[in-house]
Structure 1
Amino acid sequence: MYCFNWVIKQTYRGSRKKVDSDPELFFKLKLALRLGKTLAELEQSLSSREFYYWVAFDRINPIGDERHDWHSAQITSAIYRSQGAKVDFDDCLMKFRKEKKEPVSMFEALSNLFGK
């Protein structure tokens, strides 16, 4: 088992960073998963026009697992609230990817630090 884990780590080193930093690749992988195709099959059968239609459709009606996560968070927050807890929707939402923080200017950082 150790040997298998080592091979996996060596083979896919840096792949996560590439997927996280390339939104188009991330969307293609999500679409391929939803359509039951490999990435190569998807790229071979999908025109660029159809791809951008899928991107637009995803913005209106998410095709990935985000919708299920939102639904679960909605139910979870409703259950907590029914028991008297003060819970935000975002507290119940599962986060699999790190959120990228916007850069803050030095002036804003010092203002936040000193409360001005």
Structure 2
Amino acid sequence: MSEEMQEERLFTQEEVDKIIQKRIAREKKKNERERDENGLSYKERYYSVLKQKSLIDAGVPIDQAERYAKYINSEDQAEIEQQALELAEDLQEKPKAYADPSQRKSVWRPFSR
């Protein structure tokens, strides 16, 4: 074998720094591509969907699950389910403590005799 093939390539510190900067730039681009249209990473999106599913399973209506998912602040599945149950319990409709005026059969007429 020739001496040229056996000769080892040595890099200067500047060349190594440039190589590292290129790698960092590639990784940043890769991470940016992993974000979805809402700007969430796959992990954030997974937990968002898990929170919504837990709320729906706990009895929160589907159309309100997304709104209330932001009040669950955990990344542990058991804690998410527990917080969803507590939130659903708080959101259950309480019995009305007043009479519903639309249930009156007679019409109130204050200016008639």
Common fold, TM-score beyond 0.5? no
In terms of Rg, which structure is larger? 2
Report the structure, 1 or 2, having the larger helix content.
1
Structure-2-length-normalised TM-score: 0.31
Task: Give the TM-score of the pair, scaled to structure 1.
Answer: 0.30
The higher-RCO structure (CA 8 Å, 6+ apart) is: 2
